[in-house]
Structure 1
Amino acid sequence: MKIDKEISHPIHPQHKLKLEYSEIPFNCEGCKEAGIGFQYKCLQCEFHLHKACAVAPPSFCHSFYNRCEFQFLYAPPGPAMRICDACRDDVLGFVYHCKACGFDLHPCCANLPHVLNDGEQNLYLCHKLSSSCHRCGGKGPGWSYRSQCKAYNLHVSCVKELLAESWQAIYLNVDKNKVREMQTRIPSINGTLQNTRGERGARKVTKYCQIAGGAVSAIVSAILGDPTPIIAAVVGAFISK
């Protein structure tokens, strides 16, 4: 599929947007979510769009919702707050909406790969949890990734929570010279998982932490719009500090 290196977009008609690749997170002006990797950027206005938001098709169907046809909208419909059915976060901008069923998906969530590889094994995107989430210990709503060995599940929402307060609030709109500072402030996935697993033996905890740490880095890179090994490694380095 051909990717245009320069486009015009209706919500930023005054300048062309150029395709760029960055390992520095940005705030997407379309869906209002964090992004990393490929983006369409206005070099004059510092205007950013996820690639998935910038070139979103007007409609699409998802295998999790066989009876739905999602329409792309520049803003959530109606006066009530909308929730993304994949990650359970608020919908604040661009959204895929099924009018018939009322489902909503962030563009990047709609594009989450059905299969990821964390460097050790495949992770499979699931509509519902079959067992408890490795992060929160619950079976709440929202999509999740399940390991190939079926030993653990991770809510997409739980993975986003690992970044939401400490990464997005601090990292977005921060200049590149502060990247090193950020590395010491990202929450430790190891510490978090040790607390949630309890005292089941140091070896087992360490093993689960290593497995989940790799999975989290792969899932985060996909959530941010760029499921590539390079970005996964960058994100993994932040999370595992």
Structure 2
Amino acid sequence: MAKTLDLFWHEHPLYEKYRMFTCQECHRSAIPFFEVFYGCFRCNIKWHPYCVPRSTKNINHPCHPNHPLEVLLQGPPSYSDEKCSLCQRKLSNFVYHCKLCNFSIDMECGNRPPPHKVDHPKCHEHALTLMGREVSFTCNACGTHGERNPYVCLPCSVMFHYDCIDLPHVININRHDHRISHSYPLKRGNWVCEICRQDINTTYGGYSCNKCPDFFVHSKCATRKDVWDGTELEGIPEEVVDVAPFEVIEEGVIYHFSHEKHNLFLIEDVFIDGAEDMHCEACARPVSSEKHYKCVECKFILHEECANLPLTKRHGLSTGIFYLRFGKDFSEQNFSCDACNRDGRGFSYKDEEGVVLDVLCASLSFFKHPKLHPHTLFLTTIDRGTCLACGENKLNVLRCVDCDYSLDYKCATLPLVIKHRCDTHYLVLRSGEEAPEGKYWCEICEAETNPERWFYTCDDCGVVCHIECVTGDFLNIKPGIIMKNRENKFEVGFNDHDSRPKCTDCGSRCRFPRFFKVTRKNIEYYYCSKACFQNAKF
């Protein structure tokens, strides 16, 4: 039977139990079977025990030693900034407060006060003592500003945030393939943080790579939840993993693990006109002027870059390790990339949490094309942003640290040049800043183009096309691919004929370069886009 409690701030008896829940006060979820909570059967509300007051009595707190703190049950007073003076989280209903100093802390900071002395901190070789007062300082471990309650070592004249005294020494982050370690001060130099892309002050602490002499990261950036998996690796031997995807047989000849039948031969210095029927098995994009590996006995082709894809890698969209999926079991399965939301069929990367990336997005750590934008773009945060190439608001965008410019993964992985039936020449990707003056209409759909968005154009003929009209929804699926599902046969068709098929769903002629053809009971149905195909009921 659950233990019951009568606490002064709630009108009903509370019970004590272990279970998955979300705390009414701090709004954080508990780990199932590892945290106890107080709950009310009648109100269906639950709290962490440390997020509620135990008594109406004032408390003494080491971070505010001059005055006692009183319990407030209706939130912080209106004259306060409504943030906890220690952890800076937004205050909720229960608050410890000093009217004389306008000092407020939440229940967790009040019921779990920091220790007065830390004998063996990770950040320093000596014991540290809490300075329980308001004082402006710069933390020696992370280099950021603090306003109160530092931990100090007076003989060494150093100060640390409470959150920084146990920063992990050795960690893996999702922006680098090697381990990085914490130290202070850092090696002198003009370093830029590899995550936020801001300058690093080497007077203070940070993380660096022992194998890469110019890789440095701010302490706060390296330990972000979206960057670090939370595992301290000090004392744990590093595993040596072979990530090479092929064996070299001789110069220009490899045995690739994704093609067990035959060796692949490197093809150099070629230009394949009309290469629409030759597509890379990994990324599904056409093979034209790029170096590539080819099987002389069958139609298996890999871009040289795709042939060198590592078997494992890290990526900024997950803290886990991504594993390359290839071969018959995976290349014959459709997937949706969690970065660009394109459907794909070919090689992909997947981590243990189920995040799936196509090989183009998985290989994209930054975007640098001066003709499209003068600065380099990086994945600095995982906040939402508006892509200035297409105008859509996306969760994951690459950002420019020099100006307010963002680009989503779908636009960042667009082909720089592409062949389309609307023109005899290759179409070139251009930014909105390069749009010609006046009004222009898309050569394919004949609708007006937006001069502020990216577009495709022919430098010889001057035609202008919408990006979506040139690429369609099935850019990462090879034409000719046939899939079967029970009594249905699905095929990705290449729309290269004058008599374009009519879409079964919307009734218009398919204007995109690829379409879905579904054969059901010997009857053919055509779908011009992913949206139209999803409307079909099979």
Q: TM-score, normalised by structure 1?
A: 0.57
Runs of 5+ in structure 2 lacking a partner? Answer: 1-243, 441-448, 455-466, 468-475, 477-538
- Which of 238, 249, 252 is residue 5 of structure 1 equivalent to? 252
How many angstroms apart in 1 are the aligned matches of 2:345 and 2:312? 19
Preserved CA contact (<8 Å) 1:21 1:38: yes
Question: In the alignment, what sits opposite 2:292?
Answer: 39
How many angstroms apart in 2 are the aligned matches of 1:186 and 1:116? 16
How many angstroms apart in 2 are the aligned matches of 1:83 and 1:53? 19
Q: 1:23 to 1:107 in 2, by over 3 A?
A: farther
Question: In the alignment, what sits opposite 1:144?
Answer: 397
CA offsets, 1:199-227, max 9 Å, x none?
xxxxxxxxxxxxxxxxx9xxxxxxx9xxx
Runs of 5+ in structure 1 lacking a partner? Answer: 172-179, 198-215, 217-223, 225-241
Question: Which structure exhibits the higher relative contact order, with contacts defined as CA atoms closer than 8 Å and separated by 6 or more residues?
Answer: 1
Mapping of residues 19-168 of structure 1, within 5 Å: 19-20=267-268, 27-34=279-286, 37-43=290-296, 45=298, 47-66=300-319, 68-74=320-326, 81-98=334-351, 100-114=352-366, 116-118=368-370, 120-125=374-379, 128=382, 130-141=384-395, 143-160=396-413, 167=418
Preserved CA contact (<8 Å) 1:52 1:111: no
Which has more helix, going by share of residues? 1
Preserved CA contact (<8 Å) 1:64 1:127: no
Aligned with 1:118: secondary structure?
A: coil
Tell me whether 33-42 or 149-158 shows the greater mean CA deviation: 33-42
CA offsets, 1:179-211, max 9 Å, x none?
x8133x5676536551559xxxxxxxxxxxxxx
Question: In the alignment, what sits opposite 1:220?
Answer: none
Question: In the alignment, what sits opposite 1:194?
Answer: 451
Q: 1:127 to 1:89 in 2, by over 3 A?
A: farther
Report how far residue 126 of structure 1 moved.
5.0
Preserved CA contact (<8 Å) 1:133 1:155: yes
Question: In the alignment, what sits opposite 1:174?
Answer: none
Structure 1 or 2, whichever has the larger Rg, is 2
Question: In the alignment, what sits opposite 1:18?
Answer: 266
Preserved CA contact (<8 Å) 1:117 1:123: no
Runs of 4+ in 1 over 6 A off after TM superposition: none
Q: How many residues align?
A: 184
Q: TM-score, normalised by structure 2?
A: 0.29
Preserved CA contact (<8 Å) 1:34 1:168: no
Preserved CA contact (<8 Å) 2:254 2:263: no
Preserved CA contact (<8 Å) 2:384 2:394: no
Report how far residue 159 of structure 1 moved.
4.8
Aligned with 1:71: secondary structure?
A: strand
How many angstroms apart in 1 are the aligned matches of 2:407 and 2:343? 19
How many angstroms apart in 1 are the aligned matches of 2:268 and 2:421? 22
How many angstroms apart in 2 are the aligned matches of 1:42 and 1:28? 12
How many angstroms apart in 1 are the aligned matches of 2:428 and 2:268? 25
Q: 1:137 to 1:160 in 2, by over 3 A?
A: same
How many angstroms apart in 2 are the aligned matches of 1:182 and 1:137? 28
Report how far residue 30 of structure 1 moved.
2.7
Q: 1:46 to 1:105 in 2, by over 3 A?
A: same
Question: In the alignment, what sits opposite 2:31?
Answer: none
Q: 1:135 to 1:72 in 2, by over 3 A?
A: same
Report how far residue 49 of structure 1 moved.
0.5
**RMSD in angstroms over aligned alpha carbons?**
4.2
- Percent identity, aligned pairs only, is 23
How many angstroms apart in 1 are the aligned matches of 2:297 and 2:333? 35
